Structure 1
Amino acid sequence: MICLETQYFNLNRILLLAIGLWPYKQSNFTRFQFIFLSTILTTSLIFQCTPFISHKCTPDFIAKVLSSASFFALFVIKYNLFGVNIKAVRDLLEQLQLIYNELKDKNEFAIINEYGCSARRCTAALTICGICSLFAFLVAQFWSSILDNILSINVSESHHLPIPMEYFVDQEKYSYWILLHFNVSFCVGATAMVGIGTTLIAYLQHTCGMFKIASYRIKDAMSNNMLQNINLKNKFLIYEGLIWAVDIHRQAMKLSKCLLSSIEPMMFCLIIFGVTSVSLNLYRIFQITSADDISLNNVKELIMPIICATITVLYMFLSNYIGQHVTDHNHDVFVTVYNVRWYIAPLHIQKMILFLLQKESRDFVLNVGLFVVSIEFFATLVKTSVSYFTVIYSTQ
């Protein structure tokens, strides 16, 4: 028997348990943990917007503040909206577990194991990327201090945030507390992005495995041995195989759609703030690099927008890639139906095959509102981000 939690979602479970978002075993402590960490993330975003109150709002300053604030908004949206829908995610994982409990064929177990291992590798790779991003983020904060120590420069120690924030207190006096709040919020947000993102990717990867099983069941039911020796027993086996193929194909579509419908508000908000973040951070990168005198401080300021833009584009790509992956696997089911020797089967079996080729099923895609999640949509998002960046940069 397959146990999703221990076999394929163990790393996702560790990441989400750390921030109180693992769908199972929700206790009073995890609910307190969610409220506490959500408060840290939300207040961090608020303090990134408060400089508009105490500073003169020039176009460059507005772009500087919003470039980081729009990126942190992704953290807040992802964390809070997933927490709100955590029961729906748990129900979907339980439905997936029930479907896997019904598998009996060793080849079907092999297919699920292949896709489960692929999901685990993806989770591990993205976790490593997240750790590297956190390391680069910490280096960006303490760049000056590190250089001063290397070059043996004797200066008074000061701690500055890599982005503009206003706490309305003496920033030097409370610098350690401010740095702690900011770093904790970034670590929680990064963990949420990786943990939630990889969990959703792993879930959709498993639905791709279900589509693959549907293709396998069709091939197995319509094998040459069955079609060349049509008797009552083989007819029954063909019927049974096609029925089971249709059932798991229908359930794969249902689970994919249910997941997207439960997280649709989150995805729609992420699209808006993702495009905004990429545009403004590209503007910040070009703004810094086009300066007449590029100093060490400018190089330090470059790290944050580069990290933000890179992570956002990567997240856009992975989200749309997995959506395209699901669509392609659904298409492969119909390619399988076309390729089997259905034309030599009895007429009543051919009618069942035609049932699989209904137009409603063939056009199955994952939607976020009016948008189709696909590689084409990713290209549209990048094009839109670059277009907005071009407009902003041309007004400089």
Structure 2
Amino acid sequence: MKDGYLRPLYVNHLVRLFENHKKKSFEMPDSKINTQDQCNLDIFETSDYKTYKDGMKLIGLWPFENSTKRTLKRAFVLISMITTLIFMQVRFVEELNHNIDVVLQSAGSIILSIGCIAKFITTFRAEDNIKLLFSRIAKQWASITDKTECKILADNIKVCHPLCTFYKVIAFFALVTYACLPSFGPVIMNILSPLNETRRKRLPAPAEYFVDEEKYFYVLFSHGMICYMLVCALYVIIDCMYSCIVHHTVGLVGIVTYRLQNIIDLKVTSNQEYQANNSEIRRRLRRAISLHKESLEFAQKIETTYNLCFIIVMSVNLLTMIFTAACAIRTLYYDKVESFRWFILYGSIIFHLFFNSNPGQNLYDKSNEIINTLYFTEWYTLGISRSNKRTMLIMMIRCLRPCQLTAGGLLVLNMINFGAVIFFKSKGGSDCRKLIFNCMIAAITNEVANQYSFIERKAPRKSFKDLRLCTCLYQAVKLAFPNANDDDIKDGISAWQDTANTRLKREASGKGPKRAPFQPIVIDETLNSGEESDP
């Protein structure tokens, strides 16, 4: 992993000195990761991994399977997905100027299918990296012999099992509800609330098969269900394996923490014991540093492997979230069954974002514990040599910036950003600028806003880009208004910043709106009162 990615720049020169010294004295050949393909894969037959391995084999993504079988499985998946996508696109074009409801239903399924195909293709294109990750996992398990450390690693992997199981249940429920409501909902309603005419059954996704839909309804329904099951299986299997790999990294970091906690437990009563004690401390510290470096390199390899996959999937999911929310609200007043179907899909997408953010948050939290563990090891006591103290101090500096995973380097995958994006989008607004004003008013007081300017337009003030909030605000605006460009967002933020002094004076004089700090207000009232004018 690149060092600059995980630590502040101002300590790079210290760490370089430390690493040059480490190459001479801290080499541990037995702990190095062998990247050759010949490795013992028995660990993937255990209960912790077998379910995920079988899922990867099912869709042709297990890199150690026979190449012919992998190719046939991938061809089946792609042909099934692409043919269905073509049928849906034909129906979409046919109904474009005739039936807006069918167009919206087709568009939602098309976007979801494109995202799934992109996820599948980007994953098997990264087959070499995935193979390397699994090889490293097997060799890391083989290199850890201490029972306590093995238990720490296994326990951290088990952390992801309940959420993965819940993810499968949610995906299955969403699949059955979204796919079966159009087909069997009318049949049930004909029994519960009959009309003068029989309600017509519909296929799970509007598609043009060029045959009589009434005559071959169940055949076409079976084809649609198979394709939806493939979409569901691809999302669940790839995401669950990603979560398992990341939690393996969390376990490695947990072992580093455990080793650091047990660095100093020897008593010094003589000069000879002092030398032996520091030699033992140095050996334990060397093992912890070596594993810490491995875990950081492993996390970087995970990000490299899933980089393209996540940036595409996140973009498609955010677009689908906006689309499904709009469709759910549109159909709420005249077709509640269809509206419920859209809300189910909307909730599933939000849970998918949550699921992908959770492993990154766990890795961030666990890596953040290392510096606290180092501090409480009593490294400052008299029984420790100066060189060992210096090594611990440099390791503390290296851990100031914890390990984190991103989607293409643009969005950090953690719960903070997940919650911030969802929160800001919920503020609402009829256009880009009103959404920005509502988000700003909800999150920043006028006192803070008066001390900052956007991109340092006013020299005495600090740059607004320094605030972490800015990234979340950009994501929320892009989520709510995909057509908004950077200039629109900049203008909205600048306009809000420029009126901060005016709002501050009005609040001080009692003429402004009566509200507590950080309490949201409706932006239309602010605009009507003339607060958008220059101060």
Counterpart for residue 94 of structure 2: 54
In structure 2, how many angstroms separate the alpha carbons of the residues matched to 1:308 and 1:49?
20
User: Partners in 1 of 2:175 and 2:124 — Cα distance?
Assistant: 23
Q: For 2:348 and 2:286, locate their aligned partners in 1 and report how far apart those are by CA, in whole Å.
A: 43
Cα distance between partner residues in 2 of 1:335 and 1:275: 36
- Counterpart CA distance in 2 for 1:67 and 1:338 is 52
Q: How many residues align?
A: 385
Greater percentage in helix: 1
Letter in 2 for 1:182: G
Q: CA deviation at 1:129?
A: 2.5
Aligned pairs (5 A) from 1:240-279: 240-279=283-322
Report Cα offsets for 1:303-356 as digits up to 9, x if no partner: 432232112111111211211211111111111112210111221111110231
Cα distance in 2 between the residues matched to 1:76 and 1:241: 47
Q: Report the equivalent of 2:274.
A: 231
- Encode CA deviations 1:56-84: one digit per residue, 9 max, x unaligned: 34895554432332223232222222222
Match of 1:7 in 2: 47
CA shift in 2, pair 1:227/1:306, >3 Å: farther
Aligned to 1:324: 361
AA partner of residue 21 (structure 1): L
1:178 corresponds in structure 2 to 220
Q: Is the 8 A contact 1:13 1:22 kept in 2?
A: yes
Superposition deviation, residue 257 in structure 1: 1.2
Rate the CA distance shift 1:157–1:374 in 2: closer, same or farther, 3 A: closer
1:364 paired to 2:403:
yes
C-alpha spacing 1:389/1:266, structure 2 compared with 1 (3 Å): closer
Q: Any conservation in 2 of the 1:323–1:374 contact (CA below 8 Å)?
A: yes
What amino acid is the match of 2:406? N
Taking structure 1 as reference, are residues 232 and 286 closer, same or farther at Cα in structure 2, changes over 3 Å only?
A: same
Q: Is the counterpart of residue 120 in structure 1 residue 157 in structure 2?
A: no
Offset of 1:24 from its aligned partner?
2.7
Q: 1:308 aligns with which of 345, 366, 369?
A: 345
What is the CA deviation profile of residues 179-219 of structure 1, one whole-angstrom value per residue up to 9, with x for unaligned ones? 22211111011011111111100110111011010011011
Aligned-partner Cα distance in 2 for 1:68–1:228: 73
Query: Would the alpha carbon gap of residues 321 and 389 (structure 1) be closer, same or farther in structure 2, given more than 3 Å must change?
Result: closer
> Percent identity among equivalent residues?
18
Query: d(CA) in 2 for partners of 1:299 and 1:150?
Result: 16
- 2:81 aligned with 1:38: no
Counterpart Cα distance in 1 of 2:258 and 2:264 = 10
Using structure 1 for the length normalisation, give the TM-score: 0.87
Higher mean C-alpha deviation, range 213-222 or range 380-389: 380-389
Q: Which has the higher mean CA deviation after the structures are superposed, 21-30 or 88-97?
A: 21-30
Letter in 2 for 1:28: T
Distance in 2, Cα, partners of 1:181 & 1:218 = 56
Deviation at 1:388, TM superposition (A): 6.4
For residues 349 and 269 of structure 2, the distance between their equivalents in structure 1, rounded to whole angstroms, comes to 55
Report what 2:117 is aligned to. Answer: 76
Paired residue secondary structure (2:46): helix
Larger Rg: 2
SS across alignment from 1:50: helix
User: Which residues of 2 match residues 63-142 of structure 1 at below 5 A?
Assistant: 63-140=104-181, 141-142=183-184
Shift of 1:227: 6.6
2:209 maps to amino acid:
Y
Deviation at 1:243, TM superposition (A): 1.1
Per mean C-alpha deviation after superposition, the further-off stretch among 19-28 and 346-355 is 19-28
Structure 2 alignment gaps of length 5 or more? 1-39, 427-476, 483-535
Q: Which runs of 4+ in 1 moved over 6 A?
A: 151-157
SS at match of 1:92: helix
Find the aligned partners of 1:138 and 1:65 in 2 and give their Cα distance. 13
> CA 1:338–1:149 in 2, change beyond 3 Å: closer, same or farther?
same
Partner of 2:391: 352
Cα deviations across residues 274-300 of structure 1 (Å, max 9, x unaligned)?
1011001000111111x2xx4xxx233
- Out of 193, 210, 221, the residue aligned to residue 263 of structure 2 is 221
Q: Which amino acid aligns with 1:201?
A: S
CA change 1:245–1:4 in 2 (3 A) is farther
**What CA distance in whole angstroms lies between the structure 2 residues aligned with 1:389 and 1:337?**
41
Q: Measure, in 2, the Cα distance between the counterparts of 1:9 and 1:81.
A: 22
Cα deviation, residue 240, structure 1 = 1.4
CA distance in 1: counterparts of 2:268 and 2:153, whole angstroms: 28
Task: Identify if the C-alpha distance between structure 1 residues 227 and 81 changes in structure 2 by more than 3 Å, giving closer, same or farther.
Answer: farther
Relative distance call for 1:56 and 1:74 in structure 2 (3 A) is closer
2:501 equivalent in structure 1: none
Out of 256-265 and 110-119, give the one that drifted further: 110-119
